[in-house]
Amino acid sequence: MSLEEIERTASSEDRPADIDQQRALQQLSEFIRQLKPLDRQIMICHLEDMDTATIAEITGFSPANVGMKIHRIKNILSSRFLEEKRHV
């Protein structure tokens, strides 16, 4: 799912049952925007279903390094979600 699709889904008004999912997608979109530019680029490519080899070509990193960065970025995003949940 691309960042544009996340934003489009998050901004559309669906059934009330989808409100929590929409909020989560909006929050994810905001957290991705807050990442360092290179991390943001890697995560957007990952969300657009690019494989690590393709992302490596774009960024100049090795595929293994890209895989590790994706793992670390996911951990960062996850911890931000948990932190946000505690504050609500």
Q: Identity (one letter) of the amino acid at 85? A: K
Interatomic CA distance for residues 39 and 44, integer angstroms: 9
> What is the model's pLDDT at position 49?
94
Query: Alpha helix (H) ranges present in 1-88?
Result: 3-11, 19-33, 37-47, 52-59, 63-87
Mean pLDDT calculated for residue range 50-70:
96
Q: Which CATH number fits domain 3-87: 2.40.128, 3.40.50, 1.10.540, 1.10.10?
A: 1.10.10
Residue 18: pLDDT over 80: no
Specify the range with the lowest mean pLDDT, choosing from 23-27, 45-49, 63-67.
23-27
Could you give the CA distance from residue 29 to residue 81 in angstroms, rounded to a whole number? 11
State the Cα–Cα distance between residues 46 and 60, nearest whole angstrom.
15
Domain ranges of the chain: 3-87
Is a pLDDT exceeding 80 seen at residue 13?
no
- Of the listed ranges 10-14, 37-41, 77-81, the least confidently predicted one is 10-14
pTM here is 0.74
- Quote the pLDDT of residue 14: 53
**pLDDT, greater one: 58 or 86:** 58
Q: So what's the pLDDT on residue 20?
A: 77
How far is it, in rounded angstroms, from Cα 34 to Cα 42? 13
